[in-house]
């Protein structure tokens, strides 16, 4: 969509309007070059707190700070022209109270230019979501497997099986009623994800939740194959950049040790020989 000849960056309302239509394409990004790469192809780019594990080597997302999210959010914003940028609220920045959540969400949006924030939790976070939305902060919800709650969930397990099914349906309805413009469904059985998608009025964005969701999201490093040793069941590798990078570095090391690099074309002649 263009305004006076320029591309208008997508807004939360644009994503909400995609409910039941063309699937929403979403990837994570943490740096300017990756943001520029994914922007032409995505409707939504998520600056995820997964940055802690992907780029900083943390064992989980729990150690991610507001400062880290601001830094990476600013970097991603520099690379986007088309996609809506949503930024994760890190662990400990919103759970205490709606007031705490508003103060920190306002910082994230003001300092990064993000169009919305994402926070984890269903029924117990509905009051906070409503508080934020009423004060002009668009919220993307996240239910199912919520990585910030991995210790209480007992690990990275599929959610919504058996007696847990009703809880997730209740979570989806609660975040919808609270005013979230979309909701991530993570590691939810496909049949349940399909039921939730049909049941609520906002788009569902799945990760490990089946093709019936209104859209899909993956961690960009996973789908590019940058990690050769780690591959969750729900990830499809659309590239093998990790293997290619390993081979390129090996080739470089071999040429340096053989004094084959740098070659004549890579060096500068002495002034006298010009």
Residue-wise pLDDT tens digits, 67-99? 999 999 999 999 999 999 999 999 999 999 999
Instruction: Quick: pLDDT tens for 95-120.
Output: 999 999 999 999 999 999 999 999 99
Query: Looking at domain 2-240, does it have CATH number 3.40.190.10?
Result: no
Instruction: Specify the pLDDT at position 4.
Output: 44
Chain segment 22-46, per-residue pLDDT in tens = 999 999 999 999 999 999 999 999 9
pLDDT of residue 168: 97
Mean pLDDT computed over 257-267: 94
User: Would the annotation count 243 as a binding residue?
Assistant: no
Say whether 49 counts as a known binding-site residue.
yes
Q: What is the distance, to the nearest Å, from the Cα of residue 239 to the centroid of all Cα atoms in its chain?
A: 18
Q: Is the per-residue pLDDT at 138 higher than 70?
A: yes
User: Residue 222 burial (CB < 10 Å; 0-12/13-18/19+)?
Assistant: buried
Instruction: Check pLDDT > 50 for residue 197.
Output: yes
111, 186, 255, 271: which one is catalytic? 186
Q: Is 199 annotated as a binding residue?
A: no
Say what the pLDDT of residue 152 is: 76
- Would the annotation count 274 as a binding residue? no
pLDDT for residue 234: 78
pLDDT at 228: 67
How many C-alpha atoms does 90 have within 13 Å on its Cβ side? Answer: 22
Residue 2 assigned to a binding site: no
For the chain, the structural domain boundaries read 2-240
Across the chain, mean pLDDT equals 93
What is the predicted pLDDT for the residue at 230? Answer: 63
Q: Are strands 2-3 and 44-47 parallel, antiparallel or unpaired?
A: unpaired
pLDDT confidence bin for 272, thresholds 50/70/90: low
pLDDT of 151 > 80? The answer is no
Q: Distance between CA 157 and CA 150 in Å, rounded?
A: 9
The mean per-residue pLDDT over the stretch 134-153 comes to 91
Instruction: Give catalytic status of residue 186 as yes or no.
Output: yes
Whether residue 178 has pLDDT greater than 70: yes
* 22 φ, ψ (degrees, to nearest 5): -60, 135
Residue 274: what pLDDT?
A: 55
């Amino acid at each position: 969509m263009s305004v006076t000849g320029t591309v208008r960056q997508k807004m939360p309302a644009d994503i909400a309007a995609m409910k039941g239509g063309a699937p929403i394409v979403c990837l994570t990004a943490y740096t300017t070059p990756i943001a520029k790469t994914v922007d032409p192809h995505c409707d939504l780019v998520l600056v995820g707190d997964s940055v802690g594990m992907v780029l900083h080597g943390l064992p989980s997302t729990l150690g991610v700070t507001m400062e880290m999210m601001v830094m990476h959010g600013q970097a991603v914003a520099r690379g986007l022209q088309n996609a809506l940028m949503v930024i994760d609220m890190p662990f400990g920045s919103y759970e205490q109270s709606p007031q705490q959540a508003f103060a920190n969400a306002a910082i994230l949006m003001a300092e990064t230019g993000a169009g919305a924030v994402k926070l984890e939790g269903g029924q117990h976070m509905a009051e906070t979501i409503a508080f934020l939305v009423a004060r002009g902060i668009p919220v993307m919800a996240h239910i199912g497997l919520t990585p910030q709650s991995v210790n209480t969930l007992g690990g990275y397990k599929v959610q919504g099986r058996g007696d847990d099914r009703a809880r997730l349906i209740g979570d989806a309805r609660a975040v919808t009623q609270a005013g979230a413009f979309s909701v991530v469904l993570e590691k939810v059985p496909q049949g349940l994800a399909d039921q939730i998608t049909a049941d609520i009025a906002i788009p569902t964005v799945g990760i490990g939740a089946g093709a019936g969701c209104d859209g899909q999201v993956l961690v960009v490093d996973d789908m590019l194959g940058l990690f050769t040793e780690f591959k969750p069941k729900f990830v499809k590798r659309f590239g093998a950049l990790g293997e290619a990078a390993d081979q390129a570095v090996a080739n470089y090391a071999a040429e340096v040790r053989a004094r084959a690099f740098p070659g004549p074309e890579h060096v500068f002649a002495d002034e006298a020989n010009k």
